[in-house]
Amino acid sequence: MFNYKNGDRYEGEWRNGNIDGFGTYHYSIGEMYMGHYKENKRCGRGRYIYKNGIIYDGNWDNGN
- What sign does the CA torsion over 10, 14, 18, 21 have? negative
Q: Where are the domains of the chain?
A: 2-60
CA distance 14 to 40: 9
Give the predicted TM-score (pTM) of the model.
Answer: 0.91
CB atoms within 10 A of CB 39: 13
CA distance 20 to 9: 15
pLDDT recorded at residue 1: 85
Kindly report, residue by residue over 4-56, the tens digit of the pLDDT.
999 999 999 999 999 999 999 999 999 999 999 999 999 999 999 999 999 99
Residue 16 — φ and ψ, nearest 5°?
55, 40
